[in-house]
Structure 1
Amino acid sequence: MHLVLGLDGPLRVRVADAPWVHLAGVLTAPDVPHCLDAEGREVLLVFLDPESEVGASLAAALTGPIRGLSAAERDTLAREADPSRLMGPEGAAWTRRVVEVLGAGALPPSRSIHPRVRRVLRLLHELPPGQDASLATLAAQVRLSPGRLMHAFTESIGLPLRPYLAWLRLQRAAAAIVSGMPLGDAAQAAGFADSAHMSRTFRRMLGMSPSALRGAHRSQLVQDRGARRV
């Protein structure tokens, strides 16, 4: 799911062959072909996993392929959004705020994180690219059975381990690309098999190519994995 805010003016949005519309911001449902024209605009682009609690709440509130944001809604969210902080512990609270502002319904209280899951999260963020991050290996390192870890991880984070790992890899690759790293080097640094694998994953999960991020120095890009940070 894509949430895009036009920080300094409206965006033009079109779904399939429908006419262009001008919106202060837009939330797009998963797997919806659409065009976004933000030329000359600074934007905040947030990717939300539809399997997360926030993603599921927003998806349930969509009555069509997109949900436009009013200028007041855009201003409220933009005022509270610092991209450098959204990528840290405050990111989960901001995405829950999106649910509130868009009237998508109440979310359950924030989850407590199982101590072994907290250790897994630390391991994942410290693990060098390409190292074994399989469920069995992680379970052995935190002394849980694979089945117990899988259950505890989903209960603690609100997202299964496998999509969490995919989002973590995408985040690392996106950050490397935006910083100017060549695509092949970014793929290796993020743990992809090669740049082709990275490109396929970007198109499948984000609906865009990695090279499209080359212009992201004029935008602010955040990938929300639907997880609490620690």
Structure 2
Amino acid sequence: MHPSEAPVLLYLWDKRTFSLNLFPEPLQLSQAAAMLLVALDGDLLIRCRSDALRCRSALLPAGLELSVDSGSSRVAICYLDVFGEDHALLAPRMATRCGPLHIGLEDEAACITCFDELHRRSAEPPEVYDCLERLINPHQESPPGFVSDPRIARAIELIKTDVSCNQSIEFLAEQVGLSVPRLTQLFRQKIGVPIRRYRQWHRLFVTSVGVARGLNLTDAAMAAGFTDSAHFSHTFRTIIGMSPSAVLAHPRGIRLFAG
């Protein structure tokens, strides 16, 4: 299949999310999760703070505000695991660091070829996930020095268990045995974003999973805790950098999967 005829790919797993699309306008991102970007057809222009960088691949930590202009290139985006292990595995394998950004993935050409082939075939989700696993953690090892915090893991578990409910920070802090200031500080240190931004990001994920499983967009958004569709659309544009319709109602169609 020619790339111009291939559908958008949006595959959702609890650990990672993968999309492959051509964006009609620059993305204005306020990131809630770390991501790996790979441009398949030409350079990306990334503007972050006062820097403007051109590259084919970039590793971005959570918590940044930036713009990404893909020109006419398709872009593969992998939102990485929330605890930072994927980012820690990939960072040493990037060629250059520019402030908080890492650019130039090792074996970049092979990665581009692989993603292009997966897109042309509208590959099955397990094959895409296996490709990401081999790319991110080829040796099935933990990154040196990486330690997760069980208290933050528990706080995230509580948020995910009842996503439609705004559990207070006081409640979360009590459940994990921390003071509110310490939980707030430690959460941002370990996850890269405040608790509220992580909650918004997870609600977007849950909404997309609901759509993949047959709900209409409004019902899926309400079930995930958004007050209305306008609230969902505003949050989607703020974090993802485009309108929901640009992803979920693409003229070439979309292959949407939730695992």
Q: TM-score, normalization: structure 1?
A: 0.58
Q: How big is each residue's C-alpha offset from its partner over 1:125-155, in whole Å with a ceiling of 9 and x where there is no partner?
A: 21141x1222112112334321222233344
Matched residue, 2:13: none
- 1:217 maps to 254
SS of the counterpart of 1:140?
helix
Aligned-partner SS, 1:218: strand
Report the CA distance between 1:121 and its aligned residue: 2.2
Q: Contact (CA 8 Å) 1:13, 1:37: kept in 2 or not?
A: no
Partner of 1:102: none
1:35 Cα deviation from its structure 2 partner? 4.2
Structure 1 position 134 matched with structure 2 position 171: no
Distance 1:220 1:72 in 2: 25
Q: Which of 139, 159, 171 matches 2:205? A: 171
Q: Residue 119 of structure 1 is aligned with which of 141, 147, 154?
A: 154
Q: Alignment partner of 2:174: what SS?
A: helix
- CA pair 119-28 structure 1, distance change in 2 beyond 3 A: closer
Query: Gapped runs of 5+ residues in structure 1?
Result: 17-22, 99-106, 223-230
For normalisation by structure 2, the TM-score amounts to 0.53
AA in 2 matched with 1:46: C
State yes or no: 1:196 paired with 2:230. yes
Alignment partners' CA distance in 2, 1:95 and 1:135: 36
Question: What amino acid maps onto 1:110 in structure 2?
Answer: F
Task: Assess if the C-alpha contact under 8 Å between 1:4 and 1:45 holds in 2.
Answer: yes
Match of 1:46 among 73, 78, 99: 78
Give the count of matched residue pairs: 193
Q: Structure 2 vs 1, CA of residues 86 and 195 (structure 1 numbering), >3 Å: closer, same or farther?
A: farther
Once residues 174 and 14 of structure 1 are traced to their aligned partners in structure 2, the CA distance between those partners, rounded to angstroms, is 26
Q: Is the alpha carbon distance of 1:198 and 1:66 closer, same or farther for their aligned partners in structure 2, counting shifts above 3 Å?
A: farther
Higher percent of residues as strand: 2
| Local SS of the residue matching 2:66 | coil
Unmatched tracts of structure 2, length 5 or more: 1-30, 47-54, 118-123
- SS of the residue corresponding to residue 46 of structure 1 reads strand
Q: 32, 49, 59: which one pairs with 2:67? A: 32
**Correspondences of 1:1-230 after superposition (within 5 Å):** 3-5=36-38, 10-11=40-41, 15=45, 26-27=57-58, 30-35=65-70, 37=72, 44-47=76-79, 54=87, 61-62=97-98, 70-74=108-112, 109-114=145-150, 116-129=151-164, 131-214=165-248, 215=250, 217-218=254-255
Pairwise CA distance, 1:122: 2.0
Contact 1:12 1:38 (8 Å CA) reproduced: yes
CA RMSD of aligned residues (A): 4.8
Aligned AA for 2:223? A
Whole-angstrom CA distance in 2 between matches of 1:5 and 1:219: 20
- Flag the structure with higher helix content: 1
Question: 1:11·1:38 contact (CA, 8 Å) conserved in 2?
Answer: yes
Distance 1:192 1:201, change over 3 A: same
Percent of matched pairs sharing the same residue: 30
Q: Separation in 2 of the partners of 1:221 and 1:208?
A: 20
Is contact 1:199–1:210 with CA below 8 Å preserved after alignment? yes
Change (3 A) 1:15 1:142: closer
SS at match of 2:226: coil
Contact 1:178 1:217 in 2 (8 A): no
